[in-house]
Amino acid sequence: MSQAPPLLSIRRLSKAFGGLKAVSQVDIELRAGEILSLIGPNGSGKTTLFNLISGIYQPDEGEVWLQDHRAVNLVGLRPHKITAQGVARTFQNIRIFPDMTVLENVMVGFHCRTQSGPLSALFKTPAQKKEEQYIVTEAQRRLALFRQLLPLINEPAKTLPYAYRKRLEIVRALASSPRLLLLDEPAAGMNPHETKELMADLHRLRESGYTLMVIEHDMLMVKGLSDRVIAFDYGQKIAEGTFDEVRRNERVIEAYLGKAARC
């Protein structure tokens, strides 16, 4: 392995809601080009971790360093600034823009990588027209990543079937050209066939240079996808390693099956 500093390093990250420690003293390192899966029982703090990284929640303690040209601490930045730094995400309960078309959804994703302001829109300057054209072509290129979406680009997003909406949300996140992509249960609600397709698509994403952190409950998916797996329970990291290592870890078995399973 190379000696380059990790793309993301999370240190002693903690967040409590009242008395509930949703995330407590978590350390994670992520190398560029890696696919890291987060697993853990319901309510173990996985989504909260994503919300902390993406700036939707402020942590009580800890740091999140993103290695760009230089290292940047994401803690304290507003969500849109964090996206501009190169971290994009999807949501567990899909949050696409229902009344916009598929294409428009993706076009919105280019917001922080483009700059036309109100005046250039009012006067339709050549630069603005060129940028709009650029956004449309680039959005179509990103959509081509999921071939199924291409024939639907002018449909309102709310008319898409569930699995397509999940894919659309991923494409929309890609529009901001992130270095790191956080996917919250991308395969939830998909049938085995769709899950397999998604897995191939995510592998292709990695090959084209993205780094992925994926929350997932579907163990076949986790197995087929991950370079490394981290298991959570009660807001703490309880195991870390390859899929097989984590699967055999006693604390993980206990977390999933309860103490009885050990006897």
Partner 1 sequence: MPENIYTIIIVLTGFALLILGLNIHEAAPFLGFVLAGAGGMYALQRGGWLLKAGELIKRTRRTYYASLALCLLAYPLIFTWLQSPYWIHVATLAGVYVCLALGLNVVVGFVGLLDLGYVAFYAIGAYSSAIFFHHFPQARWAFWLLLPATALLAGIIGLCLGSSSLRLRGDYLAIVTLGFGEITRIILTNWDTLTNGPKGISGIPGPVIARYSFDKTPGFGLPRVANYYFLIILLACAIGMAADRLNHSRIGRAWMAIREDALAAESLGINVTVIKLLAFAVGAGFAAMGGVVYSSLIGFVDPMSFTFMESAMILCMVVLGGMGSIPGVIIGAIVLVVLPEKLRDFQQYRMLIFGAALIMMMIFRPQGLIPSRRRKQELLEEEDESGTPAFEHPPLE
Ligand X SMILES: Nc1ncnc2c1ncn2[C@@H]1O[C@H](COP(=O)(O)OP(=O)(O)OP(=O)(O)O)[C@@H](O)[C@H]1O
Binding residues for partner 1 (CB under 8 A): 47, 51, 54-56, 78-80, 83-84, 88-89, 91-93, 95-100, 104, 107-114, 116-118, 121-122, 124, 128, 131-132, 135, 156, 158-159, 162, 172-173, 175-176, 184
Beta-carbon contacts of residue 173 (< 8 Å; ≥ 6 apart): 88, 89, 90, 109, 181
Residue 118 interacting entry, from partner 1, Mg ion, ligand X, none, C-beta within 5 to 8 Å by type: partner 1
Answer yes or no: are the C-beta atoms of 120 and 127 closer than 8 Å. Answer: yes
Residue nearer to ligand X on the CB measure, 45 or 55: 45
Nearest to 108 by CA among 117, 120, 119, 96: 96
CA distances to 44, 85, 148, 210 from 218, rounded to whole Å, are 16, 30, 22, 22
Give the DSSP per-residue string, 171-214. Answer: HHHHTT--SEEEEESTTTT--HHHHHHHHHHHHHHHHTT-EEEE
Candidates 41-49, 63-71, 116-124, 137-145; binding stretch for ligand X (CB under 6 A) = 41-49
Judged by CB under 5 A, the number of residues near Mg ion is 2
Residue 6 interacting entry, from partner 1, Mg ion, ligand X, none, C-beta within 5 to 8 Å by type: none
Task: For residue 128, state whether it binds Mg ion (rule: CB under 5 A).
Answer: no
- Measured distance CA(114)–CA(116) in Å, rounded: 6
**Helix axis angle, 102-109 to 162-174, nearest 10°:** 30
Task: For residue 128, state whether it binds ligand X (rule: CB under 6 A).
Answer: no
CB of 122 to partner 1, least distance (A): 5
DSSP state of 5: P
What is the SS3 assignment for 260? helix
Residue nearer to partner 1 on the CB measure, 18 or 118: 118
Tokens for 19?
A: 């008395």
Beta-carbon contacts of residue 192 (< 8 Å; ≥ 6 apart): 220
Candidates 43-51, 80-88, 116-124, 196-204; binding stretch for ligand X (CB under 6 A) = 43-51
Residue nearer to partner 1 on the CB measure, 78 or 248: 78
Residue nearer to partner 1 on the CB measure, 79 or 224: 79
Judged by CB under 6 A, the number of residues near ligand X is 12
Task: For residue 47, state whether it binds Mg ion (rule: CB under 5 A).
Answer: yes
CB of 74 to partner 1, least distance (A): 13
Residue nearer to ligand X on the CB measure, 42 or 137: 42
Give the chain's end-to-end CA distance (angstroms, integer). Answer: 39
Binding site for Mg ion (CB under 5 A): 47, 92
